[in-house]
Homo-oligomer: A and B are copies of this chain.
Amino acid sequence: MKLALVGYGRVGRAFARLLESKRAVFPFRITGIHTARHGTALDQHGLSLEPSFGPPARCVEEFLDRSGADVMVEVTPLNPLTGEPAISHIRAAFARRMHVVTANKGPIAHAWAALRCEAERAGVQFRFEATVMDGAPVFNLVRYTLPGVRVLGFTGVLNSTTTVVIEAMSEGLTMQEGVERARKLGVTEADARYDIDGWDAAAKTAALANVLLDAGVTPLDVPTRGIGRLTPERLAELARKGKTVRLISRAKRTGRGVSLRVRPEVLPVTDPLATARGTSNLLLLRTDLAGTIGVLSLSPGVEQTAYGLLSDVVAIAREL
């Protein structure tokens, strides 16, 4: 199976390394890489990890046509306000009857219902396991292991930067020092305000709500408050009472649709949500038949995001 990568930053490179290391098990090859910064690389026999980039294709459409790929892997940076340009890339792939795998939460946070419909009409698969919990299964968990189950709502710690910043501030560091620590861990969005102000968490909340609860929302519909007003003093005061803070995403079905919010919440340090530390994420799914099921991703790194992409590519290969 031939893959075309759009974007080749940390996640794209980790994915290429993972494919290389698993070539004996999964015979996929990357026949094209297209980036705004480096240009375009193409080779029908498969590109190396450090390919020679030529001048960029004039547009993603041209790149996809020349790649001859079966699957587009979309790993460009997120614009949480619009979901672009990833949404346009995905439509370009669908128009060429290419399957799509993305690590970019923007498209499902902004345009899930439309993209699902377009993928179905094109007869291709659209997968995005890596978007919310990196390598830990969430969408595939519900799809493959919980038949007949209706998800009623969820609660999660989905943004790593804010957790790292809260932990740093609990040690007496400033918010800015906390952001620096998160950046060194490689978990922070290009613009850290997206994390601190809650946009990243809102995008993940919208993505989950769209896919699992048919919410039909965008991140702009999620009432969101970030951690910008949190201080080391407030955290020290809470610590004396055995409490801490996490940026919590909540969603539940109501009589009139889906209720959503992202907000810093004060939690006992013994709360399962509070035990999400460092880059760890925790999602609790409330269901009708299977009770409340949690998925925890412990200290994931970019290699786990890459695995989330690989698991989707494998799923596509299996269903072909």
Contacts and interface: CB of A to CB of B under 8 A. Distances in A.
A299 B293 CA distance: 9
A147 interface: yes
Given A137-B146, A147-B311, A295 B292 contact: no
A251 to B, nearest CB: 17
A291 B296 contact: no
Contacts of A269: 269-270
Q: What is the copy number of this chain in the assembly?
A: 2
Contacts of A301: 291
A2 to B, nearest CB: 19
Interface string A258-274: 00000000000111101
Interface secondary structure of A, over-half rule: mixed
Contact of A141 (B145, B148, B315): B145
Interface residues of A, number: 46
Contact of A293 (B275, B297, B303, B315): B297
A135 B300 contact: no
Given A18-B289, A275-B275, A296 B284 contact: yes
Interface string A19-30: 000100110000
Contact of A146 (B290, B299, B311): B311
B148 A140 contact: no
13 contacts: A18-B289, A22-B148, A26-B148, A136-B293, A141-B145, A144-B144, A147-B318, A269-B270, A291-B300, A291-B307, A293-B298, A294-B295, A294-B296
